Amino acid sequence: MDSPVQIPFKSFIQLKPEESTAIYLQIVFEFIKAIQIGLLPEGTKLPGTRILCKLLEVNRNTLIKAFQDLELQGWIEILPNKGTFILSEKKQKNKAEFAPIETENASKISEPFTFKRSTILENPKETSTLPYQFNDGLPDLRLVQTDVLARLYVSKLKRKKNTKTWEQIQTQSHLNFKTQFSNFLNLTRGIRISTSNLLTTTSHEISLYLVTKLLISPGDKVVVASPGYYMSNMTLSDSGGQIITIPVDKDGIDTGHLRQICEKQSIRLLYLTSNYHYPTTTSLSAKRRMEVLELANKYGFVILEDDYDFDFHYDNNPVLPLAALDSNERVVYIGSFGRSLPAGFGYGFIAAPSEFIKELEKHQNILEPEIDVIKEQVLTEWIMEGEVHRLSKKNKKIYKERRDYFVSLLKEKLDGKIKFQIPLRGLAIWVEWLDNFNLINLQKQCIINGLFLPKTILYQTKNLTATRLGFGHLDEAEMEKAVAILSKSLEEII
């Protein structure tokens, strides 16, 4: 074997002082990697610490600390007056020192444990560091009024000590929050609920998860629109639901098709984004709203109405959810609150019959056993002071201006190449391409030119080539650049 000094340690022990990880830990990690890939075979004698610290240009105490860690983990063996040696088979060393005498029936190799794996819940989301990106319709967190939130938080944290117990404070704060929040929903969405009909959660996704786990059993038939929302479809499928799709047109889901399905088989649930269909942005017409409620009452299925983007509507008379028209308690209404707030401040909610809410609370106590008292107190005061309404009014004006400017750019740069309807709410526009081309090729060309299009906003079938383009997170200059790149990339692939 080569002399230990001749081993080119600097070629495979790469240390990066600029990183936050301590140098001694970097040495540990690099040695383990070198041992595992065979660069330092079992039995290799390492140079003395004085020589090695010069080769690696590190402090000797740092190297000694790293060697102590490697020895404790069983990767090396330090023998007094003999040297330091590689032990690649650390399990053999541990067995020899600590294991009982092996019997004929003893397992020589410990088998790894097994666990359930889900192919349904593979996360389809992608990330990119490109300067310009489209998404499926997210708000611009640069518009958040952090000064208002900070003032409210500080005031709550500095308040005088309360003589009540922590449990009493939690209970009272949560009741106050639910009271204000239910009033807020009644006022803005036209529904008629009390605190017993409301469950608040930490996110919209948690709300959807809880409801589907309670409503759906394996094998239940679940109707969804096509094209539809990939995340909700994943959650519904994971709960055991058998997905049945129905088409969508300019008036929303095809209720005639829904009626045909109901006549042939038993339906457990209809998942519906009635006010702002994902991804096409269409709204369910008044006639079809009444037909859906009639069918639910006649055939006994539950309507899971997802109103994920109610906060962003641009008309003075927003379309109210089905829950506001439901007189037979067939609708479970879920939505989000505070999408314009920083991560952690928003809420999900579920409005439903009180008995269903009670059962949901049992499951929520497992997933979310603690109440964020300060957060709820801040948002309670935010609602009471009218700050929520002021922020909503301000944001709607900004996002409407962005929508209109984005529409003008699409008409200018992509005239004759696309068709779309201007949505009355939301932060995205559904664009259908008139030319026949592969959207993945467009995505690749956009990446070359500095624009990222995630696969989750691309929709292509035999009869459809479309893209959901979110504009809410972009200012005017960013929109101009993004649309220009999109137009240029299209010309380059056609």
Per-position DSSP letters for 196-248, written without gaps between them: GGEEEES-HHHHHHHHHHHH--TT-EEEEEES--HHHHHHHHHTT-EEEEEEE
Lowest mean pLDDT among 219-228, 378-387, 458-467: 378-387
Segment 454-471 shows an average pLDDT of: 92
pLDDT digits (tens, 9 = 90+) for 110-134: 567 888 877 677 777 888 899 999 9
Which band of pLDDT confidence, cut at 50, 70 and 90, is reported for residue 98? very low
Nearest to 230 by CA among 245, 250, 211, 214: 245
pLDDT digits (tens, 9 = 90+) for 221-256: 999 999 999 889 999 999 999 999 999 999 999 999
Q: For the chain, how many helices (H) and strands (E)?
A: 16, 17
Q: What are the angstrom distances between the C-alpha of 461 and each of 197, 316, 437, 473?
A: 41, 36, 11, 28
Strand order in the sheet with 302-307: 198-201, 347-351, 331-337, 302-307, 269-272, 221-226, 242-249, 252-253
pLDDT digits (tens, 9 = 90+) for 282-340: 999 999 999 999 999 999 999 999 998 887 888 777 788 999 999 899 999 999 887 76
Task: Return the pLDDT at 316.
Answer: 73
Q: Provide the 8-state DSSP code for 386.
A: T
Task: Return the pLDDT at 102.
Answer: 44
Task: Return the pLDDT at 165.
Answer: 66
Task: Return the pLDDT at 166.
Answer: 60
What is the share, in percent, of the chain residues with pLDDT greater than 90? 50
Phi, psi for residue 245 in degrees, rounded to 5 = -100, 145
Segment 187-192 shows an average pLDDT of: 90
C-alpha R_g of the chain: 30
CA distance 156 to 168: 17
Task: Return the pLDDT at 465.
Answer: 94
pLDDT at 364 over 70: yes
Instruction: Look at 238 and 92; give whichever has higher pLDDT.
Output: 238
SS3 for 118-132 is CCCCCCCCCCCCCCE
Query: Residue 180 carries which side chain, given as an amino acid letter?
Result: Q
Which residues partner with 176 through β-bridges?
Answer: none
pLDDT at 479 over 80: yes
Instruction: Look at 379 and 449; give whichever has higher pLDDT.
Output: 449
